Structure formats: structure tokens, C-alpha cells
């Protein structure tokens, strides 16, 4: 089964264990393929299951609310075993949902638009240039397109190519 979670949220992952054996069993459950730091209560639990009965065990996933928790699917596997060597497993994915923000600002705000008397004609210069500072503080790649909020006066233009910023990548990358 696939499940989704936002970085910074807590997600309950219930696991239902059946005992089809003719005797009481102690079953050990272990999560594999995930960052153990996302499971503050651990990735291994033990439960007793009576004959022909079932038991539900809950794991709590709490990925950190940081941009380095990259958006995407992470493989999750649950391994169950008993003292006699019997085992079973199930797998799915945890989908890390988009999180974070794009920070943007003008690097040097002291620059001002020249008035009509000091503006340079298009063939003599470029007028005023503003440098934009962009920071992707999210867990998803962002493409930024700058455009004027309204029509520019004749002779003025906005020259900015689209820019794609990778997500903060200091954390674990998703596994497919």
C-alpha cells in the first residue's frame, strides 16, 4: 500500500499481523528501505499473536520539516519473522509531498529607474539592471519566469531567461 506524508507531519503506519499457526507466536516486525531517523519510536517492534488471531502494530513516521527531505516516492518494506524462522514481507511506498518555499528578492534595492532625461536610448546602453536573488528552500525543483506585472513603457524591456533551481539536496534522495 502506498501512503503520503508532508515533511513535518506525523503519519501512523498500521501493520496487521495474522497468526495461522496452531500456537501462540511472538512476531518481530521491522521496517526496511527508509531513513530510520524518520521513525522516532523505532523501526522494529514485537507483538504476541494468539492462535488464529491477529494483532495491529503501529509505526509512526515523522520526516523532518526541512527542504532536504526531497519530494518523491521512498520504498518501504515491512519484514515479519518469528523465532522458528517463519517470515513474510509486504512493501509499498511513502510519497513525500511537496514542502517549502521559493525565496526571491532584489540583490541591490538602491538602484532606481532613471527618469526620462537620464534614460539611455536602447542603442546606447541597457539602463538599469537589477539582479534577483533566488533561493529554492523547498523539496521540489522550481522554474522561475520573471515578467512585468503590467505593460512596460515604450523602449523598456524585461530581459530574464527562465531559471530552474534544484531542490535543497543535502538529504536523502528518493528511491524508486
176 — pLDDT class (breaks 50, 70, 90) = very low
- Mean confidence (pLDDT) of the chain: 82
pTM over 0.75: no
170 — pLDDT class (breaks 50, 70, 90) = very low
SS (H, E, C) the chain: CCEEECCCCCEEEEEEEECCCCCCEEEEEEEECCCHHHCCCCCEEEEEECCCCEEEEEEEECCCCCCCCCCEEEEEEEEEEECCCCEEEEEEEEEECCCEEEEEEECCCCCCCCCCCCCCCCCCCCCCCCCEEEEEEECCCEEECCCCCCCCCCCCCCCCCCEEECCCCCCCCCCC
175 — pLDDT class (breaks 50, 70, 90) = very low
5 — pLDDT class (breaks 50, 70, 90) = very high
Position 111 scores a pLDDT of 59
Express as a percent the part of the chain with pLDDT over 70.
77
Amino acid at each position: 500500500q502506498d501512503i503520503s506524508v508532508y515533511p513535518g507531519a506525523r503519519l501512523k503506519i498500521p501493520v496487521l499481523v495474522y497468526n495461522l499457526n496452531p500456537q501462540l507466536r511472538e512476531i518481530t516486525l521491522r521496517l526496511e528501505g527508509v531513513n530510520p531517523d524518520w521513525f522516532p519510536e523505532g523501526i522494529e517492534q514485537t507483538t504476541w499473536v494468539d492462535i488464529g488471531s491477529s494483532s495491529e502494530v503501529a509505526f509512526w513516521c515523522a520526516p523532518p520539516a526541512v527542504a532536504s527531505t526531497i519530494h518523491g516516492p521512498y520504498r518501504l518494506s515491512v519484514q515479519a519473522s518469528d523465532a522458528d524462522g517463519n517470515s513474510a514481507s509486504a512493501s509499498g511506498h511513502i510519497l513525500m509531498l511537496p514542502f517549502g518555499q521559493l525565496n526571491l528578492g532584489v540583490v541591490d534595492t538602491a538602484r532606481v529607474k532613471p527618469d526620462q532625461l537620464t534614460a539611455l536610448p536602447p542603442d546606447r546602453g541597457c539602463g538599469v539592471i537589477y539582479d534577483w536573488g533566488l533561493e529554492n528552500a523547498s523539496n521540489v525543483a522550481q522554474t522561475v519566469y520573471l515578467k512585468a506585472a503590467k505593460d512596460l513603457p515604450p523602449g523598456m524591456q524585461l530581459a530574464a531567461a527562465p531559471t530552474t533551481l534544484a531542490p535543497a539536496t543535502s538529504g536523502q534522495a528518493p528511491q524508486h
